[in-house]
Amino acid sequence: MKALITGGAGFLGSHLTDALLGQGDEVYILDTISDLKVRHHLGNPQFHYIRDSIFNTEILEGLVLKCDLIYHLAAVVGVEHYVGDPYEVLNVNINGTQAILRLAFKYNKKVVFSSSSEVYGRNPKVPFGEDDERVLGSTRIDRWCYATSKAAAEHFCFAFHKMGLPVVILRYFNVYGSRLDRMDVGRVITIFIGQILRDEPLTVIGDGSQTRCFTYVDDAIRATVAAGLKEGAVGEVFNIGSEEETSIRELAELMIKISGAKSTIKYVSQESVYGLSYEDVPRRVPDVRRMHKVLGVKAETPLEVGLRKTIDWFRTGWYPPI
């Protein structure tokens, strides 16, 4: 099979590339960022890296035509972008997704769209079932632009599905592992790893009682591969996540314990980190029954095991700043 992965040079995309090449597929990735995370595949005749934008219609059309299946992962993600550059978030995530869907529709190619657990917002009722309500804050709060962009893109997926396009939507829950963000930026785990490796205090925002279900990348990728292959997945939306609910305070304590760092915990206000255009999600827990039943995948990696692997990977220091 020939697969196109938009955003294939990013964190999830690079792991998906490993998995698809590993099962004998030919992989084309389209990405604007450097090849750092997929460099180990350069020279493999089954691997093609095209450094360009999903807004380059000519390039995109050629790739869509050539491939049998499209994993659309290209997006602007990360809280610092939601509050720092909401235009880019909205443009890439909504208009970029439309560009993919339009061409996929033209050539009738299946699309697996990577959405996010952010779409549920701060719905107090956990676990979140795929058909549950979304509870978001005001549009004055930039944080919600990401959830809104992914939800709008999901609506486009369903609209195209109604017209006959095979589409699968995946909502990822805090996926982590090697090649996540750069240390010190991006998501909480990479921020904490930077602090741990320097024995600095871990900056827990608020009182640390907010929870997440951190999902190890290998588990998320098994589900992603299955979503592209299972006929029963078409037209559906799936939570992709672990059920192990962990507070950010517990996460900080666990990371200090397993790394052996001399770090302590420092509680900081959310305003001091993200300014006034940020609101937190108090609890985020997936209902994963559909993932188990239709995709046949369970997130099996305990947080402690996944964190050990992730910290060890960042500790080796081969991952230079991009």
Active site residues: 146
How many other CB atoms sit within 10 Å of the CB of residue 218?
Answer: 18
Cis peptide preceding 321, ω within 30 of 0 = no
Question: Of 167 and 205, which CB lies nearer to ligand UDP in the complex structure?
Answer: 205
The correct pick among 204, 217, 237, 303 for binding ligand UDP (CB under 6 A) is 204
Is 212 a residue that touches ligand UDP (CB under 6 A)?
yes
Looking at the Cβ atoms of 79 and 167, the one nearer to ligand UDP is 79
Is 136 a binding residue for ligand UDP by CB under 6 A? The answer is no
211-212 and 246-247 beta bridge pairing: antiparallel
Q: Which residues are CB-contacts of 147 (< 8 A; sequence separation ≥ 6)?
A: 116, 118, 119, 120, 121, 134, 136
Segment lying near ligand UDP (by CB under 6 A), choices 55-63, 119-127, 204-212, 307-315: 204-212
Identify whether the C-beta of residue 225 lies closer than 8 Å to the C-beta of residue 297. Answer: no
Q: CA–CA distance from 178 to each of 44, 193, 294, 316 (Å)? A: 21, 11, 27, 11
To ligand UDP, the closest distance from the beta carbon of 184 in angstroms equals: 9
One symbol per residue from 278 to 297: x for binding ligand UDP (CB under 6 A), - otherwise; what is it? Answer: --xx----------------
Nearer to ligand UDP, 36 or 281 (CB): 281
Q: Return the residue of 180, 188, 221, 299 that touches ligand UDP, per CB under 6 A.
A: 188
Residue 29: strand pairing partners: 5, 49
15 touching ligand UDP, by CB under 6 A = no
Residue with smaller CB distance to ligand UDP, 194 or 235:
194
Closest separation in Å from C-beta 204 to ligand UDP: 5
Task: For residue 250, state whether it binds ligand UDP (rule: CB under 6 A).
Answer: no
CB of residue 311 to ligand UDP, shortest distance in Å: 16
Question: Is 248 an interacting residue with respect to ligand UDP (CB under 6 A)?
Answer: yes
CA nearest 118: which of 90, 146, 97, 91? Answer: 146
In whole angstroms, the minimum distance from the beta carbon of 155 to ligand UDP comes to: 21
CB-side neighbour CA atoms (13 Å) of 203: 15
- Which residue of 165, 180, 205, 285 would you call a contact of ligand UDP, by CB under 6 A? 205
Residues touching ligand UDP, count (CB under 6 A): 13
Q: Does residue 20 bind ligand UDP (CB under 6 A)?
A: no
User: Rounded distance, CA 154 to CA 169, Å?
Assistant: 7
- How many other C-beta atoms lie within 10 A of the C-beta of residue 80? 15
How many whole angstroms separate alpha carbon 115 and alpha carbon 279? 20
Residue 238 buriedness (CB in 10 A; 0-12 / 13-18 / 19+): buried
| Rg from Cα positions in the chain | 19
Phi-psi region of 121 (alpha: psi -120 to 50; beta: other; left: phi over 0): left
Binding piece for ligand UDP, criterion CB under 6 A, among 152-160, 197-205, 221-229, 230-238: 197-205
Closer to ligand UDP by Cβ: residue 4 or 79:
79
Binding residues for ligand UDP (CB under 6 A) = 79, 174, 187-188, 191, 203-205, 210, 212, 248, 280-281
